[in-house]
């Protein structure tokens, strides 16, 4: 096995026995992750520059599949480098196809929340701006991510970066769930579970679910069984944590069941940037993306974001207003850049500065998001959580239609009916025994699931 080289990388594991040790000009030094699409390795060239190498699970012997793969990867390479990890090239001629992209030093959002806690305050605002800026750049190039989730957001030294965009569609996994379920269910839009077209609105839905996870530590439709999550995504309203009013309103719009009711990534970005007074409509797309990129990576002072100047009567919120003022750490969520001027729109300024430096990113001297010791918002007891009649009734209603519980009760009821028929040789008593067995099993399972759900909520 190869020894791990260079500065420590969060989540990097040693190569397995049967893993490749090279990919073209790159030496593979460890595993960054693995999933349904393939395995991601950390690669280094002779100069020590690092890249991410994804060995993809795809058969390119079919000329049509090969052509589609190359087409989608070529589109991904055209994505402007705003808050993304650039795709560098793809190799399709070898025995194991792979895609090489820029390596971003830092933990994934999922790892950060699990190990360091929730993202709050200005750090949450910058995370929302950075990730939706990446989506706007991706969609502008005609690419759909199809698998945006906390594991595909890396908290780099210069701001959040979205990775793995275009790979899902390049692999041809944009089918709906009626054919097979691809992606992470908790972040998949309702149309992914129906025979509907898949496009940018799917990514907007996944973005909203990802930001809700960052702020609350769980997806807005839960993360338990696959079919339970699918049912909630298709039918139930989201359960969101306490959010600033503007962000709360945006998240709810982006989680709409109908994709036509969701705003585009560009519209979401404009509304977020208007919140802190950086842009005003109209604005050219390249300048808008640059503003989002600078907002995501620039240091911000520890004070509340400026309020939005209303241009029309604002609707009354449907939930209590939560103040955004908090006692924040004295250190910025990103490494400060004191020499960077505030963003101004200059007609002669290029949309972005071309990247000429190697893919290697220096090791961070400070974590991208420092541990938060005090929440930015006071704890909010959500409906249906904790002890009390309302929570118990909500858990009871949630557990009552569970398909697994009903199926188990039906099965045991059938067994009881069969046993009754064998014992009495009469249909009537056998049916009565089966019905009683079904009711008893269903009620016992319902009460046990409700009680256990209550204890799980209180942890």
Q: How many CB atoms lie within 10 A of CB 347?
A: 6
The 3-state DSSP class for residue 28 equals strand
In 3-state terms the chain splits into helix, strand, coil percentages (rounded to 5) of 40, 10, 50
Using CB atoms within 10 A of its CB, is residue 11 exposed (0-12), middle (13-18) or buried (19+)? Answer: middle
- How far is it, in rounded angstroms, from Cα 351 to Cα 340? 17
| Choice among 147, 151, 164, 203 that is catalytic | 147
Q: 408-415 long-range contacts, Cβ below 8 Å, gap at least 24? A: 408/441, 408/445, 409/438, 409/439, 409/441, 409/442, 409/445, 410/438, 412/437, 412/438, 412/441, 413/437, 413/438, 413/439, 413/441
Indicate if 147 belongs to the active site.
yes
Contact present, 131 and 42 (Cβ < 8 Å): no
Q: How far apart are CA 217 and CA 109, in angstroms?
A: 10
CB atoms within 10 A of CB 114: 12
Distance (Å, rounded) from C-alpha 76 to C-alpha 80? 9
Helix axes 121-140, 200-216, angle to 10 degrees: 170
Q: What DSSP designation does 282 have?
A: S
Map residue 50 onto helix, strand or coil: strand
Q: Using CB atoms within 10 A of its CB, is residue 112 exposed (0-12), middle (13-18) or buried (19+)?
A: buried
Return the active site residues.
Answer: 147
């Amino acid at each position: 096995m190869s020894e791990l080289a260079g500065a420590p990388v969060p989540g990097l594991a040693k190569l397995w026995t049967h893993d490749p040790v090279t990919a073209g000009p790159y030496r593979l030094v460890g595993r960054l992750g693995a999933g349904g699409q393939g395995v991601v390795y950390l690669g280094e060239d002779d100069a020590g520059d690092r890249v991410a190498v994804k060995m993809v699970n795809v058969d390119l012997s079919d000329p049509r599949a090969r052509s589609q793969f190359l087409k989608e990867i070529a589109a991904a390479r055209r994505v402007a480098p705003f808050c993304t990890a650039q795709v560098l090239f793809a190799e399709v001629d070898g025995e194991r196809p792979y895609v090489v992209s820029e390596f971003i030093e830092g933990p994934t959002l999922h790892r950060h929340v699990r190990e360091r806690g929730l993202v709050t305050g200005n750090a949450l605002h910058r995370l929302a701006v950075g990730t939706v800026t990446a989506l706007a750049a991706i969609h502008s190039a005609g690419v759909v991510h199809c698998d945006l989730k906390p594991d595909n957001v890396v908290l780099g030294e210069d701001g959040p970066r979205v990775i793995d965009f275009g790979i899902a569609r390049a692999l041809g996994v944009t089918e709906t769930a009626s054919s097979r379920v691809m992606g992470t269910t908790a972040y998949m839009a309702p149309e992914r579970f129906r025979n509907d077209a898949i496009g940018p609105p799917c990514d907007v839905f996944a973005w909203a679910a990802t930001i809700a996870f960052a702020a609350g530590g769980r997806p807005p439709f839960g993360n338990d069984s696959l079919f339970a999550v699918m049912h909630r995504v298709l039918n139930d309203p989201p359960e969101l944590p306490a959010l600033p009013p503007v962000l709360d309103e945006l998240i709810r719009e982006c989680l709409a069941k109908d994709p036509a009711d969701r705003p585009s990534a560009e519209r979401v970005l404009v509304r977020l940037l208007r919140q802190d007074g950086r842009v005003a409509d109209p604005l050219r797309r390249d300048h808008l993306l640059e503003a989002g990129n600078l907002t995501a990576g620039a240091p911000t002072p520890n004070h509340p974001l400026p309020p939005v100047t209303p241009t029309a009567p604002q609707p009354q919120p449907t939930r209590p207003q939560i103040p955004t003022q908090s006692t924040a750490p004295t250190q910025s969520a990103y490494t400060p850049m004191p020499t960077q001027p505030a963003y101004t729109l200059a007609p002669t300024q290029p949309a972005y500065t071309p990247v000429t430096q190697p893919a290697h990113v220096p090791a961070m001297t400070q974590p991208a998001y420092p541990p938060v010791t005090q929440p930015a918002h006071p704890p909010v007891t959500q409906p249906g959580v904790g002890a009390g009649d309302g929570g118990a009734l909500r858990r009871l209603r949630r557990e009552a239609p569970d398909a697994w519980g009903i199926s188990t009760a039906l099965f045991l009821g059938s067994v009881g009916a069969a046993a009754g028929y064998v014992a009495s040789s009469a249909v009537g008593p056998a049916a009565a025994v089966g019905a009683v067995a079904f009711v008893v099993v269903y009620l016992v399972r319902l009460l046990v699931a409700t009680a256990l759900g209550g204890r799980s909520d209180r942890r």
